[in-house]
Amino acid sequence: MDRLRCVAEVLFGILQAESTLHRKIALHIDRAATTPSITRMVARVLHGAGLTQQDIQDVLLPLLPEGKLTLIMDRTNWKHGQSHLNLLVIGVVLGNVTLPLAWKELKHGGNSESRARMMLVGQLLGRIPARRWTVLIADREFLGQEWFTFLRRSGIKRCICIRANTVLDGEYARDCFAELTPGQTRTLFEKAWVQGSWMRVVATLSPEGERVIIASDLSVWDTLEVYRQRWAIETTFSAMKSRGLNLEQTHMTNPERVGNLFGLLTPALTWMLRVGEWRATARPIRVKKHGRPAESRARYGYEELSRALRWGGEKFRLFLALLRTPFPALGGAKRQPVRY
């Protein structure tokens, strides 16, 4: 019980401080102790005496909407001094944001290896069976025959961006779509042999002239519509980093400790999103002239949640109840431009 109390105090402190620096978090924890003593308690929680990844999944999984789920895999990385901090993350799409469900600390900079990806997906399959996975979305970093074969044999549909120099039936992908014009979409007439699997290949050209080529197990139309959702995980990383909880402010460089910190930030982000969803139901987020929301759901929820944590009262009890209430089922997603 004392461990859970410490975790809750640190979680509340992070949400109020909008920081991952131990000293700043400690200033928002009300205890009959000195600031150095509270700071040491914060450090113990963030260094691994808090929640395991399974504990966090036990909190998050009941909050997911029923039915099929779209999942995204990506990395987030930054540097602290000479240290590369690198996390491989997989999460479920909830509208225009992704809720992280599993992650792995990479002890090197740069791309992930197939083995690390397979281990992460295998771990999540133990909690969410493949029959609930609509598709897995990933960008052009996540290629490899072993990886593609693993997903196919696991019963997971793929929607993955491929590189321009990927060979399709003996020809480079860029040459198969050399005559694309901006805004145009084309597909190969038949499925192509991609990374050891027969897959449909669809390509489009951005207004800036960047060619986006996607290999998938979906129809032509669904391939583009689904891949547009990949930006949702970038929104999540933004909310956990410089535009939200400031993950990259931490001075920790030990990969396992950084993974523990990311895990503790995940319920905080979830709470912000859940409150933002509730607030947007009563008062929708203003949409700017270019068609995008004036602020993210995470930020929209954070404003209300921060006040409730500070002042308590009826709203705090309401928001605690929201943290035990599943996200509403997703309706038809609005069509959005492809992000590059």
> pLDDT per position in the chain (340 positions), as tens?
488 889 999 999 999 998 999 999 999 998 989 999 999 999 999 887 667 899 999 999 999 999 999 999 999 999 888 888 999 999 999 988 999 999 999 988 889 999 999 999 999 999 999 999 999 999 999 999 999 999 999 999 999 999 999 999 888 999 999 888 888 889 998 999 999 999 999 999 887 888 999 999 999 989 999 999 999 999 999 999 988 899 988 988 888 999 999 999 999 999 999 999 899 888 888 888 776 777 888 888 898 998 898 888 898 999 999 988 899 876 434 333 333 3
Please indicate, yes or no, whether residues 1 and 73 belong to a single structural domain of this protein.
no
Please indicate, yes or no, whether residues 27 and 96 belong to a single structural domain of this protein.
no
User: Cβ of 293: how many Cβ atoms within 10 Å?
Assistant: 15
In a domain, 337, yes or no: no
In a domain, 45, yes or no: yes
Please indicate, yes or no, whether residues 68 and 210 belong to a single structural domain of this protein.
yes
Please indicate, yes or no, whether residues 205 and 164 belong to a single structural domain of this protein.
yes
In a domain, 191, yes or no: yes
Number of structural domains the chain divides into: 2
Please indicate, yes or no, whether residues 164 and 192 belong to a single structural domain of this protein.
yes
**Among residues 232, 251, 284, which one ends one of the domains?**
232
Nearest to 43 by CA among 29, 55, 26: 26
Please indicate, yes or no, whether residues 122 and 31 belong to a single structural domain of this protein.
no
In a domain, 62, yes or no: yes
Q: Which residues contact 182 (CB under 8 A, 6 or more apart)?
A: 205, 206, 207, 209
Q: Which residues contact 23 (CB under 8 A, 6 or more apart)?
A: 35, 39
In a domain, 93, yes or no: yes
User: Cβ of 48: how many Cβ atoms within 10 Å?
Assistant: 15
Q: β-strand 133-138 against 171-172: which pairing, if any?
A: unpaired
Please indicate, yes or no, whether residues 21 and 120 belong to a single structural domain of this protein.
no
For 232-297, the DSSP string reads HHHHHHHHHTTTTT-GGG-----HHHHHHHHHHHHHHHHHHHHHHHHHHHHSPPPB-TTSSBSS-H
Please indicate, yes or no, whether residues 25 and 117 belong to a single structural domain of this protein.
no
In a domain, 159, yes or no: yes
In a domain, 63, yes or no: yes
Phi-psi region of 118 (alpha: psi -120 to 50; beta: other; left: phi over 0): alpha
Q: Which domain holds residue 127?
A: 58-232
Please indicate, yes or no, whether residues 31 and 62 belong to a single structural domain of this protein.
no
C-alpha span between 264 and 14 (Å, rounded): 9
Please indicate, yes or no, whether residues 42 and 82 belong to a single structural domain of this protein.
no
Please indicate, yes or no, whether residues 203 and 165 belong to a single structural domain of this protein.
yes
- Residue 265 in contact with residue 245, Cβ under 8 Å? yes
**Among residues 34, 50, 66, which one ends one of the domains?**
50
Predicted TM-score (pTM) of the model is 0.90
**Among residues 200, 232, 264, which one ends one of the domains?**
232
In a domain, 108, yes or no: yes
Please indicate, yes or no, whether residues 40 and 172 belong to a single structural domain of this protein.
no
For residue 92, list its beta bridge partners. Answer: 71, 99
- Residue 221 is part of a domain; what is its CATH number? 3.90.350.10
